[in-house]
């Protein structure tokens, strides 16, 4: 973005991350066009319509949890009409992949695959909407955030005033299967259930939900305006 001549504002909750960015930019062309601001996406310290475009990476929508709608409302407020938003989102496939990877590391993958109702896993992969991670937080919980299907992400973006123009799936679940299948193939029931669970979360050719996550590009719609008064006066009698 800096190379294009644009002025860029980097927003992050972490002071150390912003300082690290400043060190990396030292001596680079147009480094002075980069402004660093510490803040939360749910409360952006900028005026309405301040930006022509916004890029929200690092799954900040998912990490916002139930504050996701507020985050999108703030992005809609600061991006002017016709401006672009690029957003990455963690999908339910990401939840499934990370859960199975963790289960394999903690040596109870086969128990899960032999009994898909264990740990509520069977329930979460059947869900078509976003939801909080249901797995035991003290045992598995190095992540607690919302997962979005492509449809659910489009719905919340539309409700916030954005129109989706493009989507792209990333990090296919198949890339992780070699780590999981070594154990699962040892047990016929576990192997059959692994294939069934992957099918439920959308591991099918040509389906967007085959990704660990996806990237969405959207355009800020013009805010709806109230119709002007007609100027007519209602007469009594």
Express each pLDDT in 166-196 by its tens digit.
888 665 545 455 667 777 888 888 888 877 7
For the ranges 3-12, 45-54, 182-191, 201-210, the lowest mean pLDDT is seen at: 201-210
Is the per-residue pLDDT at 207 higher than 70?
A: no
Q: How confident is the prediction for the chain on average, in pLDDT?
A: 76
Q: What is the pLDDT of residue 151?
A: 80
Give me the DSSP letters along 44-106.
--S-TT-EEEEEE-SSHHHHTGGGHHHHHHHHHHHEEEEEEEEEEEE-HHHHHHHHHHHHHHT
**Between vectors from CA 210 to CA 208 and to CA 212, what angle results, nearest 5°?**
110
Q: If pLDDT is split at 50, 70 and 90, which confidence band does 105 have? A: confident
* Whole-number pLDDT of residue 100: 76
First-to-final CA distance of the chain: 65
With tokens 């001549």, the residue in question is: 5
Query: For residue 156, which of 50, 67, 54 has the smallest C-alpha distance?
Result: 67
> Which pTM was predicted?
0.67
Q: What is the 3-state secondary structure (H, E, C) of 119-156?
A: HHHHHHHHCCCCECCCCCHHHHCCCCCCECCHHHHHHH
State yes or no: pLDDT of 205 exceeds 90.
no
The angle at the Cα of 22, spanning 16 to 26, to the nearest 5 degrees, equals 145
Q: Please give the backbone phi and psi of residue 181, each rounded to the nearest 5 degrees, phi first.
A: -70, -25
Q: Which CATH class is domain 48-220?
A: alpha beta
Provide mean pLDDT across the span 8-20: 91
Query: Which tens digit of pLDDT belongs to each residue from 71-89?
Result: 999 999 999 999 999 998 8
Q: What is the residue extent of each domain of the chain? A: 1-39, 48-220
Look at residue 170 in the predicted model and tell me its pLDDT.
Answer: 66
Mean pLDDT of 33-47: 92
140 pLDDT band, cuts 50/70/90, is very low
Beta-carbon contacts of residue 114 (< 8 Å; ≥ 6 apart):
187, 189, 190, 193
């Amino acid at each position: 973005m800096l190379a294009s001549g644009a002025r860029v504002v980097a927003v992050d909750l972490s002071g150390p991350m912003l300082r690290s960015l400043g060190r990396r930019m030292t001596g680079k062309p147009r480094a002075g066009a980069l402004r660093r601001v510490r803040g939360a996406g749910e409360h952006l310290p900028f005026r309405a319509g301040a930006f022509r475009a916004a890029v929200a990476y690092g799954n900040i929508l998912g990490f916002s949890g139930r504050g996701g709608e507020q985050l999108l409302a703030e992005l809609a407020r600061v991006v002017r009409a016709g401006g672009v938003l690029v957003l990455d989102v963690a999908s339910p496939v990401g939840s499934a992949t990370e859960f199975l990877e963790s289960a394999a590391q903690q040596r109870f993958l086969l128990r899960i695959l032999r009994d898909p109702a264990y740990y509520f896993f069977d329930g979460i992969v059947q869900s078509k909407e976003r939801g909080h991670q249901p797995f035991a937080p003290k045992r598995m919980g190095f992540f607690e955030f919302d997962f979005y299907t492509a449809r659910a992400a489009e719905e919340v973006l539309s409700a916030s005033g954005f129109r989706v123009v493009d989507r792209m799936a990333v990090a296919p679940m198949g890339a992780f299967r070699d780590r999981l299948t070594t154990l699962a193939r040892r047990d016929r029931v576990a192997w059959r259930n692994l294939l069934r669970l992957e099918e439920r979360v959308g591991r099918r050719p040509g389906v967007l939900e085959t990704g660990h996550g996806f990237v969405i590009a959207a355009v800020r719609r013009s805010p709806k305006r109230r119709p002007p008064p007609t100027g007519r006066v209602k007469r009594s009698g």
